[in-house]
Amino acid sequence: MPAVTRFALAFGVAVSLAAGTSAASHGSSSTSAPGAPAQGGATQNPRSAQIDLIRVDVSARDAAGQPVADLRPSELRVREDGVEQSIQTFAFIPSANGTGAYYVVGYPMTSPGGSRGFHRIDVTTTRPGVVIVARSGYDLGQDVAAGAFPETTPGLVAPVARTTPAPHYTSDAMRAKIQGVVVIEAVVGTDGAVTGARVLTSLDAQYGLDQEALRAARAWTFTPGTLDGRVVPVIVRLDMAFRLH
């Protein structure tokens, strides 16, 4: 059955707090400079500076499987399609019991506006004995969270899960003794239903557990999130756990 529901900054990509987030991991944040008076007292149109960021959730664990909470940006190496990236944003996201803690690492999009198709991401660390787990990449052709807000948006009241159907454990996966967690990025719409979902961290694409986790996530319902008193779509992060007993 599903383990802890984690509402977090979507692994995804560049968050635009004013205009929402673009999902499969691409988005834009814009800042506008005030219009400056032109000659003759006219006002120029504001100009926008756009910055596209890729943001990636990164789990770091020691040899005993315990979360490592003191990594520094200088100890991480991020490559996209084999090209090393410059880390621009870095944050540690703790969890209530410590087991689900992770980092959010952001770097500028390699090509402004991005190119369609799959982009591979590799995250490594220079610290000995630390194991890094991160999403293998992102696909700009997928856009499940366009216009939705990450839960960390200032002033946002996060959705609250109401019904949480458990994913089906396929017989083939049970025979193969596959256990673990599928991490899902989902968008909770303004009616509390899940309007889009995709796998962030895969457990099993061969025997169907990834698909069963997606199917279950799409059936979850929530009390919708609000921002400044209005109902808005929100990106949430769900853990679907598969355990053999």
Query: For position 123, which CATH number holds?
Result: 3.30.2420.10
* Residue 79 or residue 9, greater confidence: 79
Q: Is 46 inside a domain boundary? A: no
Determine contact, residues 108/85, Cβ cutoff 8 Å: yes
> pLDDT for 54-85, tens place per residue?
878 888 989 888 889 999 999 999 999 889 99
Number of structural domains, the chain? Answer: 1
The answer, yes or no, to whether residue 184 has pLDDT greater than 70, is yes
Mean pLDDT of 212-233: 92
pLDDT of residue 2 exceeding 70: no
* 3-class SS of residue 53: strand
What is the pTM (predicted TM-score) of this model? 0.46
Query: 102-138 burial by CB neighbour count: b if 16+ within 10 A, else e?
Result: bbbbbbbbeeeebeeeebebbbebeeeebebebbebb
Within a domain: residue 116? yes
pLDDT tens sequence across 87-132: 998 988 887 665 667 888 988 876 544 556 667 889 999 999 999 9
In a domain, 42, yes or no: no
Residue 234, in any domain of the structure:
yes
- 116-122, long-range: CB < 8 A, 24+ apart: 116/140, 116/141, 117/141, 119/80, 119/81, 120/80, 120/81, 120/82, 121/54, 121/56, 121/78, 121/79, 121/80, 122/78, 122/79, 122/82
Would 18 be classed as within a structural domain?
Answer: yes
- 34, part of any domain: no
Is residue 39 a part of any domain in this protein? no
pLDDT in tens, 143-173: 566 678 988 899 999 999 999 999 999 999 9
Q: What's the angle, vertex CA 106, arms to CA 231 and CA 86, rounded to 5? A: 160
Mean pLDDT (whole number) for 132-137: 78
Note the pLDDT of residue 52.
Answer: 63
Q: Is the residue at 196 inside a domain?
A: yes
Query: With 50 as the cut, is the pLDDT of residue 30 above it?
Result: no
Q: Which structural domain, as residue segments, surrounds residue 139? A: 5-28+51-242
